[in-house]
Every structure is written in C-alpha cells, then in structure tokens.
Structure 1
Amino acid sequence: MSEDVKWGDAIEEPENLEELLIAPDGDLKILLPDECRNVKRVKEYNQLSSRLIQYALDEFRQVGWMDENCIFEEGDETEIKIFNMSIQEAICSHILELLRIFSNEGHSGYSAMYTLSLFNRLVNYKPILALISEDDEWEKVSEDLYQNKRCFSVFKNDTYAYDQDAVILTDVEDSYVQLLIDFPYDPPTQPEKLTINQFKSIYPKSYKNYISRLSKLQE
C-alpha cells in the first residue's frame, strides 16, 4: 500500500532507494518497491506541483510514454538502457529536471521568453552576437580551411565563407548544403528547410556553388 502525502507537506527523502514520489492528479505518493517498476526517483518532490511540469507529465501520458500514474511504460527487453532506464525515460527525466529549474526561477512572461531565447542559442552552440570574422574567431583545420570558434558550423576557405547547417534540402539525398555568407553573420538556431528549386531561387550564389561542388564530386 502507498502513503499519501499532500502538496506542501514537509517531505524527507525515502531511506529505501527504491521508494518513489510521483505526482498523479495533484497528490504525491510514496511508492513501495513492488510498485516502483522502472521509474526514476525524482528529487525535490514538492516542485512537481508547477503547472509547467504538470503540463509536461500530461504530454508524456498523451504520447504513451507514461501511464495515468506517471509511471513510465516498460519498453522492449532489447532496448538500450541508460542508468538502468530506457532512453525515453532518461530523456524525459532530464527534461523534467530542466523544467523544474526553470519553474523555480519565477520568470515573468518577458524574462521567460528572453531566457529561453538565450538558452536556445547557447544549447545549440550558436553565438549571442553576430559573427564579425575577426582573425581570433578562426581556427585552422586543414591547409586552406578554417572553422569559426564561436559557431562550429561556419567555415571559410580562400574563396568564400559558409554555414553548413543553415539550410536543409528536403528533396535531394545530399540534404545539408553550404550557405554562402557575408559578415556580420547571425547564425540561425534551426536550419531552413527548402526544396532544391526554392534554394536556387532564394540563394542563387549558394546554389551555383552547390552545383559546382556536386559536379566535382561526380568527376
């Protein structure tokens, strides 16, 4: 049987490492070992009451990763495990931890958007300020090729500079292409998805370079 714990109650971490607190329908519960299955124990249990985390848990249930009691569904026995958890469970647990930290900061609407904007750039290794191509921004990686130290997807050679992650072609096999760039350059956090014809129309110089490189590879 489980011991019910109400929100706001003082909660001590269970001595038994297999005991677990979850948040089904607004109540915390301590689960005994035979009820735990493969769920990861989450610390700082009272933070699970935040609307953001509750929303995430509802979405996890919606897509079938959790059951109605916030317990992760058991995967295939052959599935790769991380710390004795399925990959999906481990990822969801990491996301919940990020949401817990974010929720604790008490952001307003503006500060939340600003924080997420900065986080989104940094977590994707994208610079906050535009690249200006100063000499100290570059690291030599081969005889005539340099990589930008502030944005790893940006390179330059003796002829031109390019971003190799800025555009994805949706209708060709070689989907990532070089987008020729000028400085200052503000790298996008997500690639622009284009058909080959759209790429030709919007970025004619990059398209010409793409065709030239493709021809050389086929020689």
Structure 2
Amino acid sequence: MIVLSDDIDLPDRDTVLGQTVPFDPARWLPLLPDATWWPTALDECPHVGRWPRVDRRTVFRIASQADTSEGRRHLLVAALVWGTGTKAQSVNRRARIFQPSSLADIDTRLGAALDVLRERGAADAYWAFNNDRHVPHLGAAFFTKVLYFAGHDSATVRHRPVILDSVVSRVLKATGAVDASWPGNGWTTDQYRLYVEGVHEYAQARGVLPDQVEAALFDHGKQLA
C-alpha cells in the first residue's frame, strides 16, 4: 500500500498540461528511422530562448491520433522528446530503441501494449511493456510516459495511467509513502499497480486528477536531487 502525505501542494490541471520541456529537433531527426516518425506538431512548438519547448498538452494532442501505426510512432517519439530534454547524451540514449529492433517489431509491440491498456488497464499494459511486448531499451520511466499520454484522458481506461520514474520514486521513499525496499527503477507490475492505485485514491480524496498528483511528486523529487 502507498500512503501519500496529506499536505502535498497540488498544481492545477492547466499548470500540469502546460509543463514544458526544451528539445533540439536537429539532434532527434538524424536518429529516427526516417522523417515520417517525427510528429509535425513538434514543429509548431514555441521557442523560448534557444530551444523550442513541448508541453504535455501538445503530446496529448499527438496521442489522440494514436489509432494508426503512424500515430503510435508519433506518440512514442513525442513522449521520448518530452521526457528527455536537450542533452546530446540523453537523446542518443533514448534513440537506442530504434537500433536493435525492426520497425515492424516496434509497431507490433507498441500497438499490442496499447491494446492491453484499453482492454485491461494500466497495470496489465505495464506488464505487457515489461514482458512479452517489451521494446528493447524502452524502460519503465519512458513506457509509463507512453501509457500516460495514451490513456490518462481516455474514457475507456478504468485506472488512468500515471508516470513512474526515478524522480517520483525518490520522493515516495523520502516521504515514507513506500518502504525502504522500493527500487529506484525497474519496478514490478505489482509495484506499479500499487502506485497507480495510491495516486488515484489520493486524487479522488483531493478532488483532482491523478496527473496533478504525479506532477506534484515530480516537482518535490527534483528538489531532493
């Protein structure tokens, strides 16, 4: 069971949807299988200083078109871009998923995992991405981003998926929401299920959406780094 603190300072939903991350298209484009994998919506993102910045709202808009193979490819790339930032090393690490797998294999695994999300929910989709539908080099911190954008605002998903990464995990441990054995990464399906259920219960009690809780946890976790 995950027990969250009663005094979490929760952002409003507009603040969550407006959370932006800078990115460098010139670093991403040469690493993609071809130019069709790049979502054109990313070209419309506003520049702030040197870099364009993508927000959650834009990735949700891209995810709304994920009912085709091309749309799912765009969702995957947009989630990677939003979660990575501008550092060349980080971009190269994320783009490794395109190297060992055939494009058909990525399409099949991504589509199957998102089918599981719609049909059986977030925890079962997490299991699929972590097991028989695993895409090499796509770890939980990033495939939970894919699940989040694909399913958080969907009326057909019972438990809205939420992002779980090392930053969120850090604050869960620091605040005693989980015990000392909770890992910093590589969470089991049961651990992800407990996390999703805990976030949902807390969000319901506070009259907010689950991603408002996740965003608050992430912000707190960054302060603990």
TM-score normalized by the length of structure 1: 0.27
Q: Which of the pair is proportionally richer in helix?
A: 2
More RCO (CA 8 Å, sep 6+):
2
Q: Which of the pair is proportionally richer in strand?
A: 1
TM-score normalized by the length of structure 2: 0.26
